Structure 1
Amino acid sequence: MKRAGISLLLLLLCTSFIVTAQDGKGSLVIVGGGLNPDNKEVYSRMIGLAGGPEKAAFAVIPSASGVPVQSWVSISKTLQSYGVKADNIHLINISVMDDDSTMDTDESKWAGNGNDKRLARTIRGCTGVWFTGGDQMRTMMALTLPDGGRTPVLEAVWEVYNKGGVIGGSSAGAAIMSEIMIGNGTSMGALKQGIIRDNGPENEETDALLLSRGIGFFPEGIVDQHFNQRARIGRLIVALMDSREKYHLAFGVDENTALIYSAYDHKIQVAGAAGLTIINAAEATYSLVQGLPDISNLSVSYLENGDSYLVNTGELIPAAGKKATRGNEYYKREHPAQAGILSANGSTLRDVITINLMDNKGAESISNLNFTDSENAFLLNFTKKPSSQGFYFENAREEDEYSVADIRLDISPVKVSVTKIK
């Protein structure tokens, strides 16, 4: 009964949530999941935006987590390791799940604490708010009213943001940042099965794309997380094309990496171990072929640590020290056909658009074939445009760092005939 009740609430949330986004005045630290405690670039930036180690005060909201107390303890210890005072890190005890590590407390009884005005006051006294990972639908259920409005706690978080504070979150805590929220689904499921708007029992086994409503701190487009690691480009593109009348940008954040957003000047910076993929559908076309999406003229850009992106102009600013690859390509590989970019076990998007395309003088385009069955597939074609740019730097650890701007991407459903070579 407890599980069925939660499913019903989530169904109502998906179908009736009406909270609308607004522009804040502060900063966002949107992490793609898997944030390591030793990721100094991300933690230092977030603490700095909250006022520095001496002044920063954080409210931690573990509402998405299945182990809320453990999640709170983990982030609290990490923040303290970077100099934040223990007394300035506050647990906002909101959860819909019981933590099995605590024997004397049932944390699922915190489900209604979004209406607790005492907790709201605690948040208002903070300079930063952190949302843990877990299931983003739990956070939306806990922080919104039955009519779709904001609870007092959510209103307090907005006040912190509007006063210039920093709002951060990882994994599920990143998913809630955009107004249109991806709740579940795979890339292949999104392309083959399309979109669902609720996650009722009839949809528990589907890989279709679940779209719901997020909090809307981030006004520039749709956010996805665990992006490169879980091959989520397909589902993010399907979400973007469905929402293209309102947004033309979508942002895929890799694990252990942060999209850092300044609401003041609409500037994005990247910090951390991997990258940020930006999909632009401003000039894209979309049609259905036998019920499957056929999408042309998307623009793909890719940023890594230290790179910046100006949303208002669409300009990518590479990190200091990076040099242009165009005309100075390191590789010369002709016809580097790829397979499996829509699969977490296949070629990575990063390798396709950096090493195999923009840093490769032997290719002007790359085709990537992704089978749905023995006869059908989706063909992804990445093409250099006259405006496409690539940038490269070898860091002190002898690791390659890349930036890529404005590659064309087309996605088409195709029939495939396989014949054994004799």
Structure 2
Amino acid sequence: MKLINIANILFIFTIMFSCKEKASNSTANQQSIEALKIVNKPKGKLFIIGGGKRPKEMIKELLTTSNFNNEAYLVILPMASQEPDSTIYYASKQFEELGIDSKKIKGFNFEKNKENKVWLDSLKQAKIIYISGGDQVKFMDVVLNTPIYDALHEAYQNGTTIAGTSAGAAIMSEKMITGNEYKHKEYTGDFRTIEANNIEISQGMGFIKHAIIDQHFVKRMRMNRLVSIAIEHPNETAIGIDESTAIIIEGDSIKVTGLSQVIVIKNPKKNLKIKEGLLGADQLELSVKLPGSRFTF
């Protein structure tokens, strides 16, 4: 009887030590994952403009946000535009009006040369990379699966501020609004319905992982589109940025700046109802953020 008791006790101790070791290993693994997240956290910032006119104060804030100094330079990427040379000229002019030496401003149209090593190296060292408006799909057609994509991510990881307006705002998220509708092929700029399987989404740059960006938002009355996106993509925060307005993302902090509002829609309950092609959902969360407001995804 004693032998049986001793055997049972030894068995219990073995189980206890085994469980303790597994728990210890589990904790160590979790700590490794958290450490990896910290290591991979970008040092750069995002300055995402909703399109329209760019007030001088906003561009000044972009320069301040990036810690732009006499040793720094900025790069303009015009590949979303149908007139890239004009885009570079007018964007450069606005920076020059704020006192930036023209020698510190570079414009690279990678549409003509996707593997220009000098340009790629310059991208990685730029203090600011500014992505113009135009057509976000056109921009991604030039950049996706190329060394340009990799150079942009390397720059962001190492401390570059990535700025973009209009199309340059749309490309910031991993899931990108293309501007097209599946059910209404002719583009009008109006989004008159909240329908299932209608808003076209494609791959963006992925600087933002858990949000989808819309632009020109209040000015062009794009609420229907953003509501559709929030319902059908419940794991993403849907963010609509108005014209002459921007969000500044640094780590987990998001700040609104500029002249108008930012609309934030979430679907935390992951509700999704479809009836005869129409989308429905309960308990969506909607916020209207004013300049100076801060929030997180």
Please say whether Structure 1 and Structure 2 have the same fold, judged by a TM-score greater than 0.5.
Answer: yes
Q: What is the aligned partner in structure 2 of residue 161 from structure 1?
A: 156
- The 5 Å alignment of 1:311-326 reads 311=297
Matched residue type, 2:142 = A
Please state whether the residue corresponding to 2:81 is helix, strand or coil. Answer: coil
Q: What is the aligned partner in structure 1 of residue 28 from structure 2?
A: none
Looking at structure 2, the residues matched to 177 and 34 of structure 1 have their Cα atoms a distance apart, in angstroms, of: 17
Give the counterpart of 1:32 among 26, 37, 50.
50
Q: What is the aligned partner in structure 1 of residue 35 from structure 2?
A: none
Q: What is the root-mean-square deviation in Å for CA atoms of aligned residues?
A: 1.8
Moved over 4 A (4+): none
Percent identity over paired residues: 30
Please state whether the residue corresponding to 2:292 is helix, strand or coil. Answer: coil
Cα distance change, pair 294–310 in 1 and its aligned pair in 2 (3 A):
closer
Matched residue type, 1:46 = L
Residue 309 of structure 1 deviates from its aligned partner by 1.2
Matched residue type, 1:68 = P
Can you list the C-alpha shifts for 1:269-300, whole angstroms capped at 9, x where unaligned?
11111111111111252211222111211111
Looking at structure 1, the residues matched to 90 and 148 of structure 2 have their Cα atoms a distance apart, in angstroms, of: 22
Residue 190 of structure 1 deviates from its aligned partner by 5.3
Please state whether the residue corresponding to 1:226 is helix, strand or coil. Answer: coil
Looking at structure 1, the residues matched to 41 and 134 of structure 2 have their Cα atoms a distance apart, in angstroms, of: 26
TM-score by length of 1: 0.56
Looking at structure 2, the residues matched to 300 and 239 of structure 1 have their Cα atoms a distance apart, in angstroms, of: 13
Matched residue type, 1:299 = E
Looking at structure 2, the residues matched to 224 and 191 of structure 1 have their Cα atoms a distance apart, in angstroms, of: 15
Whether the aligned pair in 1 keeps the contact of 2:231 and 2:280 (CA below 8 Å) is no
Q: What is the aligned partner in structure 1 of residue 85 from structure 2?
A: 69
Can you list the C-alpha shifts for 1:329-354, whole angstroms capped at 9, x where unaligned?
xxxxxxxxxxxxxxxxxxxxxxxxxx
Cα distance change, pair 276–56 in 1 and its aligned pair in 2 (3 A):
farther
Whether the aligned pair in 2 keeps the contact of 1:280 and 1:298 (CA below 8 Å) is yes
Consecutive unaligned residues in structure 2, runs of 5 or more: 1-39, 181-188
The answer on 1:260 being equivalent to 2:241 is: no
Whether the aligned pair in 2 keeps the contact of 1:56 and 1:84 (CA below 8 Å) is no
Q: What is the aligned partner in structure 2 of residue 9 from structure 1?
A: none
Asked which structure has the greater CA Rg, the reply is: 2
Q: What is the aligned partner in structure 1 of residue 123 from structure 2?
A: 123
Q: What is the aligned partner in structure 1 of residue 267 from structure 2?
A: 281
Looking at structure 1, the residues matched to 193 and 200 of structure 2 have their Cα atoms a distance apart, in angstroms, of: 9
Can you list the C-alpha shifts for 1:1-51, whole angstroms capped at 9, x where unaligned?
xxxxxxxxxxxxxxxxxxxxx853211011110133xx1332112111322
Give the counterpart of 1:216 among 206, 211, 218.
206
TM-score by length of 2: 0.79
- The 5 Å alignment of 1:200-349 reads 208-244=198-234, 246-247=235-236, 249-263=237-251, 266-311=252-297
Looking at structure 2, the residues matched to 303 and 62 of structure 1 have their Cα atoms a distance apart, in angstroms, of: 29
Residue 232 of structure 1 deviates from its aligned partner by 1.1
More deviation, 177-186/283-292? 283-292
Residue 189 of structure 1 deviates from its aligned partner by 5.0
Please state whether the residue corresponding to 1:228 is helix, strand or coil. Answer: coil
Q: What is the aligned partner in structure 2 of residue 82 from structure 1?
A: 98
Looking at structure 2, the residues matched to 23 and 181 of structure 1 have their Cα atoms a distance apart, in angstroms, of: 21
Matched residue type, 2:120 = A
Can you list the C-alpha shifts for 1:42-63, whole angstroms capped at 9, x where unaligned?
2112111322353441111000
Whether the aligned pair in 2 keeps the contact of 1:116 and 1:152 (CA below 8 Å) is no
The answer on 1:44 being equivalent to 2:60 is: yes
Whether the aligned pair in 2 keeps the contact of 1:50 and 1:57 (CA below 8 Å) is no
Give the counterpart of 2:194 among 180, 191, 194.
191
- The 5 Å alignment of 1:141-156 reads 141-144=141-144, 149=145, 151-156=146-151
Can you list the C-alpha shifts for 1:232-267, whole angstroms capped at 9, x where unaligned?
1211221232222x32x111000011111102xx11
The answer on 1:60 being equivalent to 2:67 is: no
Whether the aligned pair in 1 keeps the contact of 2:125 and 2:160 (CA below 8 Å) is no
Please state whether the residue corresponding to 1:142 is helix, strand or coil. Answer: helix
Please state whether the residue corresponding to 2:177 is helix, strand or coil. Answer: strand
Looking at structure 1, the residues matched to 288 and 263 of structure 2 have their Cα atoms a distance apart, in angstroms, of: 5
Can you list the C-alpha shifts for 1:343-368, whole angstroms capped at 9, x where unaligned?
xxxxxxxxxxxxxxxxxxxxxxxxxx
Matched residue type, 1:86 = S
Whether the aligned pair in 1 keeps the contact of 2:232 and 2:272 (CA below 8 Å) is no
Cα distance change, pair 115–223 in 1 and its aligned pair in 2 (3 A):
same
Can you list the C-alpha shifts for 1:184-228, whole angstroms capped at 9, x where unaligned?
146645524x43xxxxxxxxxxxx422111111122311000111
Looking at structure 2, the residues matched to 276 and 220 of structure 1 have their Cα atoms a distance apart, in angstroms, of: 17
Please state whether the residue corresponding to 2:150 is helix, strand or coil. Answer: helix
